[in-house]
């Protein structure tokens, strides 16, 4: 029996037994050929990212199967609490662990592209979920934007502990990712661009 557990801009996610199934649904406002091509490309790309996560033993959903005709991905369903709901109970330790895990992804040139505490599950350790926007990149800019998304999410969702939390994220990231200096330098420029846009 299908139990819908999430709806995003481009996909419906439902739970089937011990699996999470992501179905990229048709978009009527797009030309059918463009729509099909986009959904197929994104489904295949997400599957490749999930395969890479398994290869490096990263705590994320394990790919079970990918169907690029029905545009579906079957993956492991990860039980646990959303980090969003428990983050402020132990924000320093959680934030440092998150930073280290982002560093691990960036070492493998994986950009999550939707880093929020809603896309992380707290259990034995923090598991990252929802790699629907993820892609591979070697660019410092893409890695800086990835961190900037988390920075904005922490400021928005956890503003009471934001400053301490972001410092802990950067500490963990710096310990794990050898190229952190270049990325953190770029992060300052990305944040400055964001501030200028608000003016």
Residues marked as catalytic: 114
Q: Which residue has the tokens 């990860």?
A: 78
Structure tokens at 83: 């980090």
Q: How many other CB atoms are found less than 10 A from the CB of residue 19? A: 16
72 close to 39: Cβ distance less than 8 angstroms: no
Orientation of helix 140-157 relative to helix 91-107, angle to 10°: 160
77 close to 149: Cβ distance less than 8 angstroms: no
Cα–Cα distance for residue pair 105/110, rounded to 1 Å:
5
62 phi and psi, to 5 degrees? Answer: -80, 135
């Amino acid at each position: 029996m299908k139990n819908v557990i999430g709806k995003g801009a481009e996909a419906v996610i439902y739970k089937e037994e011990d699996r999470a199934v992501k179905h990229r649904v048709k978009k009527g406002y797009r030309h059918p050929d463009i729509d099909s091509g986009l959904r197929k490309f994104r489904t295949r790309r997400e599957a490749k990212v999930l395969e890479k996560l398994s290869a490096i033993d990263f705590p994320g959903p394990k790919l079970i199967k990918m169907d690029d005709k029905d545009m579906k991905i079957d993956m492991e369903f990860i039980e646990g609490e959303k980090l969003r709901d428990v983050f402020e109970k132990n924000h320093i330790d959680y934030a440092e662990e998150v930073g280290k895990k982002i560093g691990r992804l960036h070492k493998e040139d994986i950009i999550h592209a939707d880093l929020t505490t809603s896309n992380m599950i707290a259990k034995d350790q923090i598991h990252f979920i929802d790699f629907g926007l993820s892609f591979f990149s070697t660019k410092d800019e893409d890695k800086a934007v990835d961190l900037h998304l988390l920075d904005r999410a922490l400021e928005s969702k956890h503003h009471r502990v934001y400053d301490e939390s972001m410092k802990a994220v950067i500490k963990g990231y710096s310990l794990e990712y050898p190229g952190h200096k270049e990325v953190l330098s770029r992060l300052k420029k990305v944040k400055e661009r964001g501030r200028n846009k608000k003016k």
